Amino acid sequence: MTLRLIIADDNAQFLDYVKTVAEAKGWLVTLCADGNELLAILKEMSDPALVLVDINMPNLDGVEVAWKLSDLNGSAPARLRFITGGDPTNAIAARMIAKAREQDPGTTLFKPIAIEKLREVLAFEAEKLEAQQLS
């Protein structure tokens, strides 16, 4: 089974960090600079994926992505996780919006994310994606 990870963040250094850690654990990683790129990729996907999306991005932010994600009928299911380096209040609002759109965003990841925490999240999400594919 291929583990797909799609990361949307406007911080190139953070994208490279997550990509390096995830690829070392066997993930196939796609990078996006904003939510518009992310949604375009998700529209074309057929395999389930873990999606890490920054709450604060230019153009289309993580909150807007969560709102639009459930409108992507016919695309592969995505497991959503928010990441942020900003105010925790924004993370709470983003989670509420995602849940209102019938998504379970899991625990928000706050930057900087320690490598051990990132590996832990990737292992947890790999199990969830594998179970999803088996059902």
Q: What is the pLDDT of residues 20-59, one digit of tens each?
A: 999 999 999 999 999 999 999 988 888 889 999 999 888 8
User: What is the pTM for the complete model shown?
Assistant: 0.89
Where exactly are the structural domains of the chain? 3-134
Measure the CA–CA gap between 54 and 38, rounded to whole angstroms: 11
Which residues lie below 8 Å from residue 98, measured CB to CB, with a gap of 6+? 66, 69, 80, 82, 104, 105
How does pLDDT run across 99-122, given as a tens digit for each residue?
Answer: 877 788 888 999 999 999 999 999
Measure the CA–CA gap between 96 and 90, rounded to whole angstroms: 10
Measure the CA–CA gap between 42 and 49, rounded to whole angstroms: 9
Residue 74 in this model has a pLDDT that exceeds 70: no
The CATH architecture to which 3-134 belongs is: 3-Layer(aba) Sandwich (3.40)
